[in-house]
Structure 1
């Protein structure tokens, strides 16, 4: 019996690899001679470096870069062994957790640090870069990232705009002459887990600005800035990203990259699944176990469980998801191909108690799922 394990992490409790280890323990209790294939997954956000690194090798590179508000932070990215490709997590250099909640500055936070990571990878030879854009602290349209790659954003007097989305309403033109041939020759793959456009009521500022500290007036200013940025980029590069689905990801970083670089955007789960070889691992599988910390209606919208269920269903393989909590209805997940969803809870417990016992509970529930499968 071949069982593929393809879970997300249980945030705050277990990494995806640790979840795999617990699931494998349970599977082998029920079927001692099972062939177990571990494929830890992520959705393109936190944990992606670890998943891709474990599957493909390569090495982590640590770099001191500019944080969201200009303070120095030590960030990391993954460089392939042959240096031809790299994986960069925006959250590592430009993420919201890097800003003190009491010091949120939505108008001046920017993505310079992420661009510095990319520039370092390109300098070392990477010509294919996967950029995971979840969890940003800024709404700068990716201008900080592009500045770090050599671009300039100028006002009507020819002066450089200050960092952050708050300055973008004054944008007059973009100067790309400082962007190197190496960057221009690099193919960028953007792992994007939202479908929001760049501007408007569902845009980057309106939807994600509040969590970054923006009030109503600041949201309106940021939206005007992103609109102005999109106008100038369309005039300069010929690509209009104003209402492009996904362009609003990471405070518009996705839109800025799509308009200016050789870049494509795709749901993070699909990119990660290909990077770690999940489609190939499913060949000949009899069962897939997946999971995440909480399963609810939102899990069907581009999360790991939904993508794993879809891949399994396309191959006629039953897929079972384990989670700390399952919140019905889960009809959308079942429609995508999920066979069943099981909670690992064994009774009333506090969150801390569940977190501390997650590995043991996962192993127990996986064992029971396998015994049911064999019945």
Structure 2
């Protein structure tokens, strides 16, 4: 047997191979540990450095998990995967080890406690080594900052939904709520935990919503007017100053929905007869019931031209087409008196139809388009 002439300083045994001849050891490692024989080296060797316990902080309201210095939405009901991830991040493998292989097996003890069985294998000084560690994981249920703010009624802006010279309909109120919720959900999907609605309250004149930030309030106001029409204005009120002396304002975004609604029938003050409203986005647009021609309010009138409200398309009644008189007139049965009357013939009327829908008002009897608005322009 060849002798190296080198002795282990701990046990005094002569080593079979000089440490400087071990190419498997990195330079820094050789400097600190090459003087030990294999027996002494492995006597104190730990392949895995594991914490004694790990605590996973979970929000009991929204399910977010605290990582580092912030709360993160994970969308999980079962936190086993979260526990596996945090244990994996906390485990350390000795720098001497090569060809590392490992696996983690969770053992659910109860709802709030998990044991993580981690098994590692590797090669150290050309010697296969294995080690198994068990890390207890406890689930600590708390309240995240976001849920705490919601529970405390925190908000920075108010969105008020009203309508011009009328009250918003139930459908408009529900749609405004949905638009706000969808916008907040979109922001949440990007990881924005400052996005939330503290309160949605219906009032006789419309809807009030308390929103987490001024930016969110503005975004909601813009989207409601983009989808339902109308306009919005803003005002601010000083509420406090922060510790640096910066003034903090609470914004109010007043959304005003259009005076008229899609599907409403109005009689503008221009002498050309009733209009079925098709759109309230920008200038009011619709179709003339007497002719079928496209109608658009002037730039000055915008979405609220002066006119008399006559009713809605849903107020139409089914009646019988009696005869086509000429290009401008047809005969129909009055749905109330059942007498044959002559009324204007709009270009959308189907002369082959046996029945049609008519609208009766102070402006007379008019044929309604069967496709809702009768105007694709």
Q: Report if TM-score (shorter chain) is over 0.5.
A: no
Give the number of the structure with larger relative contact order, counting CA–CA contacts within 8 Å between residues 6 or more apart: 1
Comparing both structures, which one devotes a greater share of its residues to strand? 2
Comparing both structures, which one devotes a greater share of its residues to helix? 1
**TM-score, normalising length from structure 1?**
0.20
Instruction: State the structure with more CA Rg.
Output: 2
